[in-house]
Chains A and B, each alone.
Chain A
Protein backbone atom coordinates (compact mmCIF):
# COMPACT_ATOMS: atom_id res chain seq x y z
CA UNK A 1 0.00 0.00 0.00
CA UNK A 2 1.30 3.51 -0.75
CA UNK A 3 1.66 5.61 2.40
CA UNK A 4 -1.06 8.01 1.20
CA UNK A 5 -3.61 5.24 1.67
CA UNK A 6 -3.20 5.11 5.45
CA UNK A 7 -5.16 7.22 7.86
CA UNK A 8 -4.24 8.02 11.44
CA UNK A 9 -5.10 10.42 14.20
CA UNK A 10 -1.77 12.19 14.57
CA UNK A 11 -0.17 12.49 18.00
CA UNK A 12 -0.02 15.79 19.86
CA UNK A 13 3.54 15.62 21.23
CA UNK A 14 4.40 17.05 24.63
CA UNK A 15 7.75 18.37 25.80
CA UNK A 16 8.59 14.88 27.09
CA UNK A 17 7.42 12.96 24.03
CA UNK A 18 8.51 15.28 21.18
CA UNK A 19 11.98 13.68 20.77
CA UNK A 20 10.32 10.28 20.27
CA UNK A 21 8.09 11.55 17.46
CA UNK A 22 10.87 13.64 15.90
CA UNK A 23 13.08 10.53 15.80
CA UNK A 24 10.25 8.65 14.07
CA UNK A 25 10.28 11.36 11.39
CA UNK A 26 14.01 10.47 10.88
CA UNK A 27 13.00 6.77 10.80
CA UNK A 28 14.57 5.95 14.15
CA UNK A 29 12.73 4.19 16.95
CA UNK A 30 14.01 5.56 20.24
CA UNK A 31 13.12 4.55 23.77
CA UNK A 32 13.55 6.77 26.79
CA UNK A 33 16.31 5.41 29.02
CA UNK A 34 17.03 6.06 32.66
CA UNK A 35 20.63 6.90 33.48
CA UNK A 36 20.66 5.83 37.18
CA UNK A 37 18.77 2.52 36.77
CA UNK A 38 19.92 1.81 33.22
CA UNK A 39 16.52 0.66 32.03
CA UNK A 40 14.46 1.68 29.00
CA UNK A 41 10.72 2.19 29.09
CA UNK A 42 7.75 3.07 26.92
CA UNK A 43 6.10 5.57 26.58
CA UNK A 44 8.20 8.73 27.15
CA UNK A 45 7.55 10.56 30.42
CA UNK A 46 9.08 13.30 32.57
CA UNK A 47 10.47 10.69 35.00
CA UNK A 48 11.40 7.02 34.94
CA UNK A 49 8.32 4.95 35.93
CA UNK A 50 10.63 2.18 37.20
CA UNK A 51 12.80 4.13 39.67
CA UNK A 52 11.49 7.68 39.67
CA UNK A 53 14.62 9.37 38.41
CA UNK A 54 14.32 12.43 36.19
CA UNK A 55 17.81 11.90 34.77
CA UNK A 56 16.77 10.51 31.39
CA UNK A 57 18.26 10.00 27.95
CA UNK A 58 17.32 8.21 24.72
CA UNK A 59 18.43 4.88 23.34
CA UNK A 60 18.14 3.80 19.74
CA UNK A 61 16.44 0.43 19.31
CA UNK A 62 16.74 -2.29 16.70
CA UNK A 63 13.13 -1.59 15.77
CA UNK A 64 12.37 -5.29 16.08
CA UNK A 65 10.18 -7.30 18.35
CA UNK A 66 7.71 -10.10 18.75
CA UNK A 67 3.91 -9.98 18.59
CA UNK A 68 2.37 -10.31 22.07
CA UNK A 69 -1.22 -10.01 20.85
CA UNK A 70 -3.14 -8.88 17.79
CA UNK A 71 -6.61 -7.96 16.57
CA UNK A 72 -8.08 -7.61 13.10
CA UNK A 73 -10.45 -4.64 13.21
CA UNK A 74 -13.56 -4.78 11.01
CA UNK A 75 -15.48 -1.76 12.28
CA UNK A 76 -14.67 1.92 12.00
CA UNK A 77 -14.56 3.78 15.30
CA UNK A 78 -13.90 7.03 13.43
CA UNK A 79 -17.01 7.26 11.26
CA UNK A 80 -17.48 6.58 7.56
CA UNK A 81 -14.21 8.18 6.45
CA UNK A 82 -12.30 5.30 8.05
CA UNK A 83 -14.18 2.55 6.23
CA UNK A 84 -11.45 2.54 3.56
CA UNK A 85 -9.01 1.31 6.24
CA UNK A 86 -11.00 -1.82 7.07
CA UNK A 87 -9.97 -4.34 7.99
CA UNK A 88 -6.74 -3.32 9.69
CA UNK A 89 -4.55 -5.04 12.25
CA UNK A 90 -3.55 -3.71 15.66
CA UNK A 91 -0.73 -5.39 17.59
CA UNK A 92 0.90 -5.30 20.97
CA UNK A 93 4.58 -5.86 20.28
CA UNK A 94 7.28 -6.80 22.79
CA UNK A 95 10.34 -4.91 21.58
CA UNK A 96 13.66 -6.78 21.69
CA UNK A 97 14.84 -4.11 24.15
CA UNK A 98 12.06 -5.10 26.60
CA UNK A 99 9.17 -2.65 26.63
CA UNK A 100 5.78 -3.48 25.15
CA UNK A 101 4.17 -1.03 22.72
CA UNK A 102 0.91 -0.75 20.84
CA UNK A 103 1.09 -0.33 17.08
CA UNK A 104 -0.50 -1.11 13.77
CA UNK A 105 0.69 -3.97 11.58
CA UNK A 106 0.92 -3.16 7.88
CA UNK A 107 1.76 -5.16 4.78
CA UNK A 108 -0.29 -7.50 2.62
CA UNK A 109 0.32 -10.38 5.07
CA UNK A 110 -0.82 -8.46 8.17
CA UNK A 111 -4.11 -10.37 8.36
CA UNK A 112 -2.32 -13.70 8.82
CA UNK A 113 -0.32 -12.63 11.85
CA UNK A 114 0.02 -14.93 14.85
CA UNK A 115 1.25 -14.19 18.35
CA UNK A 116 5.00 -14.78 18.59
CA UNK A 117 5.64 -13.61 15.03
CA UNK A 118 8.70 -11.45 14.51
CA UNK A 119 8.02 -7.90 13.36
CA UNK A 120 10.02 -4.80 12.59
CA UNK A 121 9.19 -1.14 12.49
CA UNK A 122 7.88 0.18 9.15
CA UNK A 123 7.71 3.97 9.34
CA UNK A 124 4.68 5.16 7.46
CA UNK A 125 4.22 8.78 6.47
CA UNK A 126 0.78 10.22 7.12
CA UNK A 127 0.12 13.92 6.66
CA UNK A 128 3.82 14.74 6.99
CA UNK A 129 4.40 12.68 10.13
CA UNK A 130 6.12 9.28 10.11
CA UNK A 131 4.40 6.82 12.43
CA UNK A 132 6.12 3.70 13.84
CA UNK A 133 3.89 1.01 12.33
CA UNK A 134 5.27 -2.53 12.07
CA UNK A 135 5.50 -5.25 9.41
CA UNK A 136 6.10 -8.98 9.70
CA UNK A 137 9.52 -10.41 9.01
CA UNK A 138 9.98 -14.05 8.15
CA UNK A 139 12.72 -15.74 10.22
CA UNK A 140 14.96 -16.50 7.23
CA UNK A 141 15.00 -12.81 6.31
CA UNK A 142 16.16 -11.89 9.77
CA UNK A 143 18.86 -14.59 9.83
CA UNK A 144 20.31 -13.32 6.57
CA UNK A 145 20.59 -9.75 7.75
Chain B
Protein backbone atom coordinates (compact mmCIF):
# COMPACT_ATOMS: atom_id res chain seq x y z
CA UNK B 1 0.00 0.00 0.00
CA UNK B 2 1.68 3.28 -1.02
CA UNK B 3 1.84 5.83 1.80
CA UNK B 4 -0.30 8.95 1.58
CA UNK B 5 1.59 12.20 1.20
CA UNK B 6 2.96 13.44 4.52
CA UNK B 7 2.50 17.00 3.25
CA UNK B 8 -1.29 16.84 3.69
CA UNK B 9 -3.22 16.92 6.98
CA UNK B 10 -6.66 17.01 8.55
CA UNK B 11 -6.99 20.62 9.64
CA UNK B 12 -10.56 20.87 10.91
CA UNK B 13 -13.59 18.87 12.00
CA UNK B 14 -17.30 19.59 12.11
CA UNK B 15 -20.07 17.73 13.84
CA UNK B 16 -23.77 18.59 13.93
CA UNK B 17 -26.09 17.69 16.79
CA UNK B 18 -27.26 14.07 16.47
CA UNK B 19 -30.56 12.31 17.15
CA UNK B 20 -33.65 13.76 15.53
CA UNK B 21 -33.10 16.96 13.55
CA UNK B 22 -36.72 17.54 12.64
CA UNK B 23 -37.37 19.64 9.57
CA UNK B 24 -33.81 19.36 8.23
CA UNK B 25 -33.07 17.77 4.86
CA UNK B 26 -29.90 15.82 4.08
CA UNK B 27 -28.35 18.71 2.13
CA UNK B 28 -29.02 21.08 5.03
CA UNK B 29 -27.43 18.68 7.50
CA UNK B 30 -24.36 18.26 5.30
CA UNK B 31 -24.13 22.03 4.84
CA UNK B 32 -24.32 22.53 8.60
CA UNK B 33 -21.50 20.01 9.13
CA UNK B 34 -19.37 21.85 6.54
CA UNK B 35 -19.99 25.19 8.27
CA UNK B 36 -19.02 23.67 11.63
CA UNK B 37 -15.77 22.35 10.14
CA UNK B 38 -14.99 25.68 8.45
CA UNK B 39 -15.52 27.43 11.78
CA UNK B 40 -13.32 24.89 13.58
CA UNK B 41 -10.46 25.63 11.17
CA UNK B 42 -11.10 29.39 11.20
CA UNK B 43 -11.45 29.42 7.43
CA UNK B 44 -13.84 31.29 5.21
CA UNK B 45 -16.09 29.24 2.97
CA UNK B 46 -14.53 30.89 -0.10
CA UNK B 47 -11.27 29.08 0.55
CA UNK B 48 -12.88 25.66 -0.07
CA UNK B 49 -12.22 24.51 -3.63
CA UNK B 50 -12.70 20.75 -3.20
CA UNK B 51 -15.88 19.06 -2.01
CA UNK B 52 -16.40 15.34 -1.45
CA UNK B 53 -19.47 13.75 0.07
CA UNK B 54 -21.40 10.55 0.53
CA UNK B 55 -24.93 10.37 -0.78
CA UNK B 56 -27.62 9.87 1.88
CA UNK B 57 -28.82 6.26 2.20
CA UNK B 58 -32.38 7.02 3.30
CA UNK B 59 -33.02 9.73 0.69
CA UNK B 60 -30.71 8.89 -2.23
CA UNK B 61 -29.83 11.37 -4.95
CA UNK B 62 -27.69 11.81 -8.00
CA UNK B 63 -25.00 14.52 -8.24
CA UNK B 64 -25.15 15.16 -4.52
CA UNK B 65 -21.72 16.83 -4.22
CA UNK B 66 -22.80 19.35 -6.84
CA UNK B 67 -26.14 19.84 -5.07
CA UNK B 68 -24.28 20.55 -1.84
CA UNK B 69 -21.82 22.90 -3.55
CA UNK B 70 -24.70 24.95 -4.92
CA UNK B 71 -26.45 24.99 -1.56
CA UNK B 72 -23.27 26.26 0.12
CA UNK B 73 -22.70 28.86 -2.59
CA UNK B 74 -19.45 27.23 -3.69
CA UNK B 75 -18.01 26.73 -7.16
CA UNK B 76 -15.34 24.07 -6.44
CA UNK B 77 -12.68 22.88 -8.88
CA UNK B 78 -13.00 19.32 -7.56
CA UNK B 79 -16.32 17.66 -6.62
CA UNK B 80 -16.96 13.99 -6.02
CA UNK B 81 -19.62 11.82 -4.44
CA UNK B 82 -18.01 8.71 -3.05
CA UNK B 83 -19.79 5.53 -1.96
CA UNK B 84 -17.47 2.72 -1.01
CA UNK B 85 -19.91 1.39 1.55
CA UNK B 86 -20.92 1.90 5.15
CA UNK B 87 -18.23 3.38 7.32
CA UNK B 88 -15.38 3.02 4.83
CA UNK B 89 -16.48 5.97 2.74
CA UNK B 90 -15.32 8.61 5.25
CA UNK B 91 -11.74 7.44 5.05
CA UNK B 92 -11.95 6.93 1.29
CA UNK B 93 -13.10 10.53 0.90
CA UNK B 94 -10.06 11.60 2.94
CA UNK B 95 -7.77 9.48 0.79
CA UNK B 96 -9.20 10.97 -2.40
CA UNK B 97 -8.97 14.49 -0.97
CA UNK B 98 -5.28 13.87 -0.27
CA UNK B 99 -4.73 12.68 -3.84
CA UNK B 100 -6.69 15.64 -5.21
CA UNK B 101 -4.61 18.15 -3.26
CA UNK B 102 -1.31 16.39 -3.97
CA UNK B 103 -2.08 16.31 -7.69
CA UNK B 104 -3.03 19.99 -7.66
CA UNK B 105 -6.76 19.69 -8.35
CA UNK B 106 -7.68 21.69 -5.24
CA UNK B 107 -6.10 23.25 -2.16
CA UNK B 108 -8.70 23.02 0.59
CA UNK B 109 -11.02 20.03 0.45
CA UNK B 110 -14.02 19.26 2.65
CA UNK B 111 -15.24 15.67 3.11
CA UNK B 112 -18.75 15.44 4.49
CA UNK B 113 -21.61 13.08 5.16
CA UNK B 114 -24.90 13.53 6.92
CA UNK B 115 -28.56 12.74 6.54
CA UNK B 116 -31.93 12.52 8.24
CA UNK B 117 -32.22 8.74 8.35
CA UNK B 118 -34.17 8.84 11.63
CA UNK B 119 -36.67 11.63 11.07
CA UNK B 120 -37.35 10.63 7.43
CA UNK B 121 -38.21 7.06 8.41
CA UNK B 122 -41.86 6.04 8.11
CA UNK B 123 -43.78 4.89 11.19
CA UNK B 124 -43.38 1.22 12.05
CA UNK B 125 -40.27 0.65 9.95
CA UNK B 126 -37.58 -1.47 11.61
CA UNK B 127 -33.95 -0.48 11.26
CA UNK B 128 -32.45 1.80 8.65
CA UNK B 129 -34.75 2.16 5.68
CA UNK B 130 -32.53 2.29 2.62
CA UNK B 131 -34.13 3.21 -0.66
CA UNK B 132 -31.29 2.18 -2.91
CA UNK B 133 -30.55 -1.37 -3.99
CA UNK B 134 -27.55 -3.15 -2.50
CA UNK B 135 -26.91 -5.63 -5.31
CA UNK B 136 -27.62 -8.92 -3.52
CA UNK B 137 -31.40 -8.74 -3.70
CA UNK B 138 -31.96 -11.70 -6.04
CA UNK B 139 -30.07 -14.04 -3.65
CA UNK B 140 -31.30 -12.55 -0.37
CA UNK B 141 -34.89 -11.33 -0.65
CA UNK B 142 -36.49 -14.68 -1.65
CA UNK B 143 -35.16 -16.05 1.64
CA UNK B 144 -36.47 -13.28 3.90
CA UNK B 145 -33.20 -11.37 4.17
CA UNK B 146 -33.51 -7.60 3.98
CA UNK B 147 -31.19 -4.98 5.45
CA UNK B 148 -28.11 -5.62 7.57
CA UNK B 149 -29.37 -7.16 10.83
CA UNK B 150 -29.78 -10.74 9.57
CA UNK B 151 -26.40 -10.74 7.79
CA UNK B 152 -24.65 -9.64 11.00
CA UNK B 153 -26.70 -12.16 13.01
CA UNK B 154 -25.37 -14.93 10.74
CA UNK B 155 -21.85 -13.58 11.27
CA UNK B 156 -22.34 -13.49 15.06
CA UNK B 157 -23.63 -17.07 15.17
CA UNK B 158 -20.60 -18.19 13.17
CA UNK B 159 -18.34 -16.30 15.60
CA UNK B 160 -19.99 -18.12 18.52
CA UNK B 161 -19.60 -21.52 16.84
CA UNK B 162 -16.03 -20.95 15.67
CA UNK B 163 -14.62 -19.67 18.96
CA UNK B 164 -17.04 -20.94 21.59
CA UNK B 165 -18.00 -17.33 22.29
CA UNK B 166 -21.42 -16.27 23.54
CA UNK B 167 -23.83 -13.44 24.30
CA UNK B 168 -21.75 -12.23 27.28
CA UNK B 169 -19.08 -11.22 24.76
CA UNK B 170 -21.54 -9.10 22.80
CA UNK B 171 -23.01 -7.63 25.99
CA UNK B 172 -19.56 -6.46 27.10
CA UNK B 173 -19.19 -4.40 23.91
CA UNK B 174 -22.66 -2.87 24.25
CA UNK B 175 -22.13 -1.91 27.91
CA UNK B 176 -18.62 -0.50 27.44
CA UNK B 177 -19.72 1.59 24.47
CA UNK B 178 -22.74 2.92 26.36
CA UNK B 179 -20.60 3.90 29.33
CA UNK B 180 -18.46 5.96 26.95
CA UNK B 181 -21.48 7.63 25.32
CA UNK B 182 -22.56 8.95 28.72
CA UNK B 183 -19.42 11.12 28.67
CA UNK B 184 -20.41 12.63 25.32
CA UNK B 185 -23.01 15.41 25.44
CA UNK B 186 -23.69 14.92 21.74
CA UNK B 187 -24.92 11.32 22.01
CA UNK B 188 -28.37 9.88 21.39
CA UNK B 189 -28.22 7.46 24.31
CA UNK B 190 -28.30 9.11 27.72
CA UNK B 191 -28.90 6.24 30.17
CA UNK B 192 -26.52 3.57 31.43
CA UNK B 193 -26.92 0.06 30.03
CA UNK B 194 -26.78 -2.72 32.62
CA UNK B 195 -26.24 -6.38 31.93
CA UNK B 196 -29.86 -6.93 32.92
CA UNK B 197 -31.03 -4.25 30.43
CA UNK B 198 -29.03 -5.98 27.73
CA UNK B 199 -30.43 -9.46 28.35
CA UNK B 200 -34.02 -8.37 28.98
CA UNK B 201 -34.19 -6.54 25.64
CA UNK B 202 -35.94 -8.35 22.83
CA UNK B 203 -34.12 -10.58 20.41
CA UNK B 204 -34.15 -9.12 16.88
CA UNK B 205 -32.49 -11.93 14.93
CA UNK B 206 -30.66 -14.52 17.01
CA UNK B 207 -28.15 -14.19 18.48
CA UNK B 208 -28.49 -10.39 18.18
CA UNK B 209 -30.62 -8.48 20.67
CA UNK B 210 -31.80 -4.90 20.51
CA UNK B 211 -28.65 -3.37 22.06
CA UNK B 212 -26.38 -5.27 19.68
CA UNK B 213 -27.70 -3.03 16.91
CA UNK B 214 -26.51 0.48 16.17
CA UNK B 215 -28.75 3.52 16.19
CA UNK B 216 -30.62 5.09 13.33
CA UNK B 217 -29.70 8.77 13.40
CA UNK B 218 -29.96 12.21 11.92
CA UNK B 219 -26.71 14.14 11.93
CA UNK B 220 -23.57 14.95 10.00
CA UNK B 221 -19.81 15.16 10.19
CA UNK B 222 -17.19 16.92 8.10
CA UNK B 223 -13.40 17.04 7.76
CA UNK B 224 -11.12 19.69 6.28
CA UNK B 225 -8.02 18.62 4.40
CA UNK B 226 -5.17 20.91 3.29
CA UNK B 227 -1.42 21.08 2.93
CA UNK B 228 0.57 20.89 6.13
CA UNK B 229 2.39 24.17 5.52
CA UNK B 230 -0.92 26.00 5.06
CA UNK B 231 -2.39 24.52 8.27
CA UNK B 232 0.75 25.40 10.13
CA UNK B 233 0.71 29.00 8.81
CA UNK B 234 -2.87 29.26 10.11
CA UNK B 235 -1.72 27.98 13.50
CA UNK B 236 -4.01 24.94 13.32
CA UNK B 237 -3.56 21.84 15.44
CA UNK B 238 -3.52 19.29 12.64
CA UNK B 239 -3.58 15.51 12.42
CA UNK B 240 -1.58 13.41 9.95
CA UNK B 241 -3.00 10.52 7.96
CA UNK B 242 -0.24 7.94 8.28
CA UNK B 243 -1.99 5.33 6.15
CA UNK B 244 -5.24 4.12 4.70
CA UNK B 245 -5.90 0.67 3.27
CA UNK B 246 -8.94 -1.11 1.87
CA UNK B 247 -9.93 -4.66 1.03
CA UNK B 248 -13.12 -5.79 -0.72
CA UNK B 249 -13.93 -9.50 -0.60
CA UNK B 250 -17.64 -9.90 -1.46
CA UNK B 251 -20.88 -7.95 -1.26
CA UNK B 252 -23.92 -10.01 -0.29
CA UNK B 253 -24.05 -12.10 2.87
CA UNK B 254 -24.87 -14.96 0.48
CA UNK B 255 -21.11 -15.01 -0.23
CA UNK B 256 -19.93 -14.39 3.34
CA UNK B 257 -16.39 -15.76 3.80
CA UNK B 258 -15.44 -17.42 7.08
CA UNK B 259 -14.27 -14.99 9.77
CA UNK B 260 -10.50 -15.52 9.32
CA UNK B 261 -10.94 -14.74 5.59
CA UNK B 262 -12.77 -11.42 5.98
CA UNK B 263 -10.95 -8.41 4.52
CA UNK B 264 -10.38 -6.56 7.81
CA UNK B 265 -7.19 -8.42 8.61
CA UNK B 266 -5.66 -7.75 5.18
CA UNK B 267 -6.67 -4.07 5.32
CA UNK B 268 -5.22 -3.79 8.84
CA UNK B 269 -1.94 -5.44 7.91
CA UNK B 270 -1.62 -3.12 4.92
CA UNK B 271 -2.43 -0.05 6.99
CA UNK B 272 0.09 -0.90 9.72
CA UNK B 273 2.80 -1.85 7.21
CA UNK B 274 2.25 1.35 5.24
CA UNK B 275 2.45 3.46 8.41
CA UNK B 276 5.44 1.41 9.65
CA UNK B 277 3.67 1.00 12.97
CA UNK B 278 2.45 -1.93 15.07
CA UNK B 279 -0.79 -2.34 17.03
CA UNK B 280 1.21 -1.84 20.24
CA UNK B 281 1.88 1.77 19.17
CA UNK B 282 -1.83 2.69 18.96
CA UNK B 283 -3.41 4.63 21.84
CA UNK B 284 -7.10 4.78 20.88
CA UNK B 285 -9.31 2.82 18.48
CA UNK B 286 -12.38 4.01 16.60
CA UNK B 287 -13.80 0.74 15.36
CA UNK B 288 -16.76 0.04 13.14
CA UNK B 289 -19.62 -0.89 15.45
CA UNK B 290 -22.78 -1.14 13.37
CA UNK B 291 -23.33 -4.21 15.54
CA UNK B 292 -21.51 -5.38 18.66
CA UNK B 293 -20.17 -8.38 16.74
CA UNK B 294 -18.43 -6.01 14.30
CA UNK B 295 -16.21 -4.72 17.10
CA UNK B 296 -15.13 -8.19 18.23
CA UNK B 297 -14.31 -9.32 14.71
CA UNK B 298 -12.42 -6.08 14.04
CA UNK B 299 -10.40 -5.88 17.24
CA UNK B 300 -9.22 -9.44 16.63
CA UNK B 301 -8.54 -8.93 12.90
CA UNK B 302 -6.40 -5.90 13.73
CA UNK B 303 -4.33 -7.89 16.22
CA UNK B 304 -5.42 -6.19 19.46
CA UNK B 305 -6.92 -9.44 20.81
CA UNK B 306 -6.49 -13.10 19.90
CA UNK B 307 -9.23 -14.77 17.83
CA UNK B 308 -12.26 -15.31 20.05
CA UNK B 309 -10.79 -13.22 22.88
CA UNK B 310 -12.32 -9.84 22.01
CA UNK B 311 -15.10 -10.24 24.57
CA UNK B 312 -12.61 -11.07 27.31
CA UNK B 313 -10.64 -7.95 26.34
CA UNK B 314 -13.76 -5.83 26.82
CA UNK B 315 -14.76 -7.55 30.08
CA UNK B 316 -11.30 -6.98 31.53
CA UNK B 317 -11.65 -3.23 30.88
CA UNK B 318 -9.02 -3.21 28.15
CA UNK B 319 -11.37 -1.33 25.79
CA UNK B 320 -12.65 1.13 28.41
CA UNK B 321 -11.31 4.62 29.02
CA UNK B 322 -8.18 4.11 31.10
CA UNK B 323 -7.67 0.62 29.64
CA UNK B 324 -4.93 -0.64 27.33
CA UNK B 325 -6.79 0.45 24.18
CA UNK B 326 -9.92 2.56 24.69
CA UNK B 327 -12.42 1.71 21.93
CA UNK B 328 -14.98 4.23 20.70
CA UNK B 329 -14.72 6.74 23.55
CA UNK B 330 -17.44 8.86 21.86
CA UNK B 331 -20.02 6.07 22.13
CA UNK B 332 -19.80 4.85 18.55
CA UNK B 333 -22.58 3.90 16.21
CA UNK B 334 -24.06 1.82 19.02
CA UNK B 335 -24.64 4.61 21.54
CA UNK B 336 -23.66 8.01 20.10
CA UNK B 337 -25.16 8.01 16.59
CA UNK B 338 -24.75 6.23 13.27
CA UNK B 339 -23.41 8.87 10.92
CA UNK B 340 -21.71 6.49 8.52
CA UNK B 341 -18.50 6.44 10.53
CA UNK B 342 -17.79 10.15 10.01
CA UNK B 343 -17.92 10.71 13.75
CA UNK B 344 -15.37 7.94 14.27
CA UNK B 345 -12.97 10.10 12.28
CA UNK B 346 -13.93 13.43 13.87
CA UNK B 347 -13.55 11.75 17.28
CA UNK B 348 -10.13 10.35 16.37
CA UNK B 349 -9.02 13.86 15.39
CA UNK B 350 -10.47 15.35 18.57
CA UNK B 351 -8.70 12.76 20.72
CA UNK B 352 -5.38 13.36 18.94
CA UNK B 353 -5.77 17.14 19.37
CA UNK B 354 -6.36 16.54 23.08
CA UNK B 355 -9.77 18.19 23.02
CA UNK B 356 -12.10 15.36 23.99
CA UNK B 357 -12.91 16.70 27.46
CA UNK B 358 -14.27 14.17 29.96
CA UNK B 359 -13.61 11.29 27.58
CA UNK B 360 -10.06 12.27 26.62
CA UNK B 361 -7.73 9.28 26.30
CA UNK B 362 -4.60 10.36 28.11
CA UNK B 363 -1.55 10.98 25.91
CA UNK B 364 -3.40 9.86 22.79
CA UNK B 365 -0.89 10.23 19.98
CA UNK B 366 -1.98 7.61 17.46
CA UNK B 367 -5.43 6.33 16.52
CA UNK B 368 -6.63 3.49 14.36
CA UNK B 369 -9.97 3.92 12.59
CA UNK B 370 -11.78 1.00 11.00
CA UNK B 371 -14.81 0.88 8.79
CA UNK B 372 -16.70 -1.63 6.78
CA UNK B 373 -19.54 -1.69 4.33
CA UNK B 374 -22.07 -4.47 3.90
CA UNK B 375 -21.18 -7.38 6.17
CA UNK B 376 -17.40 -6.87 6.23
CA UNK B 377 -17.82 -6.86 2.45
CA UNK B 378 -15.43 -3.96 2.01
CA UNK B 379 -13.12 -3.06 4.87
CA UNK B 380 -11.02 0.03 5.50
CA UNK B 381 -8.38 0.82 8.08
CA UNK B 382 -6.74 4.18 8.65
CA UNK B 383 -4.01 5.26 11.05
CA UNK B 384 -3.93 8.85 12.25
CA UNK B 385 -1.21 10.60 14.24
CA UNK B 386 -1.15 13.79 16.26
CA UNK B 387 1.05 16.53 14.84
CA UNK B 388 3.35 18.45 17.14
CA UNK B 389 1.91 21.67 18.49
CA UNK B 390 1.85 24.36 15.86
**B-binding residues in A (CB < 8 A):** 8-14, 17, 42-43, 68-80, 85, 88, 90, 92, 100-104, 115-116, 131, 133
Are B254 and A43 in contact, with the CB atoms below 8 A?
yes
- In the bound complex, what is the Cα–Cα distance between A13 and B146 (angstroms)? 18
- Can you spell out 29 A-B residue pairs with CB atoms less than 8 angstroms apart? A8-B144, A10-B142, A12-B138, A17-B138, A42-B254, A69-B256, A70-B154, A71-B205, A73-B204, A74-B203, A75-B126, A76-B126, A77-B126, A77-B146, A77-B149, A79-B124, A79-B125, A90-B143, A90-B144, A92-B253, A92-B256, A100-B255, A102-B140, A102-B253, A103-B143, A104-B143, A115-B157, A116-B161, A131-B143
A-B contact number at CB 8 A: 104
Q: Give every chain A residue within 8 A of B137 (Cβ-Cβ).
A: 9, 12
Are A102 and B206 in contact, with the CB atoms below 8 A?
no
Q: Give every chain A residue within 8 A of B199 (Cβ-Cβ).
A: none
Min CB distance A6 to B, Å, is 9
- In the bound complex, what is the Cα–Cα distance between A102 and B126 (angstroms)? 22
Does any Cβ of A come within 8 Å of B202's Cβ? yes
Are B124 and A80 in contact, with the CB atoms below 8 A?
yes
Interface residues on B, range: 35 or more
Closest to B158 in A: A69
Known: A43-B138, A73-B205, A74-B204. A88 touches B144 (CB 8 A): yes
- In the bound complex, what is the Cα–Cα distance between A102 and B255 (angstroms)? 8
Q: Among A79, A101, A104, point to the contact of B144 (Cβ < 8 A).
A: A104
Give B135-164 as 1s and 0s: 1 = Cβ < 8 Å from A's Cβ atoms.
Answer: 001111111111101100111011001000
Q: Give every chain B residue within 8 A of A102 (Cβ-Cβ).
A: 139-140, 143, 145, 252-254
Min CB distance B251 to A, Å, is 11
* CB interface residues, B 160-208, toward A, < 8 Å: 161, 202-208
Q: Give every chain B residue within 8 A of A79 (Cβ-Cβ).
A: 124-125
- In the bound complex, what is the Cα–Cα distance between A68 and B388 (angstroms)? 50
Closest to B160 in A: A115
- In the bound complex, what is the Cα–Cα distance between A42 and B138 (angstroms)? 12
Q: Give every chain B residue within 8 A of A76 (Cβ-Cβ).
A: 126
Closest to A43 in B: B139
Min CB distance A36 to B, Å, is 22
Min CB distance A41 to B, Å, is 10
- In the bound complex, what is the Cα–Cα distance between A77 and B254 (angstroms)? 18
Min CB distance A52 to B, Å, is 17
Give B351-372 as 1s and 0s: 1 = Cβ < 8 Å from A's Cβ atoms.
Answer: 0000000000000000000000
Min CB distance A39 to B, Å, is 15
Does any Cβ of A come within 8 Å of B317's Cβ? no
Does any Cβ of A come within 8 Å of B127's Cβ? yes
Min CB distance A111 to B, Å, is 9
Are A8 and B142 in contact, with the CB atoms below 8 A?
yes
Q: Nearest 5 pairs between A and B by C-beta?
A: A9-B141, A71-B153, A102-B254, A77-B146, A72-B206
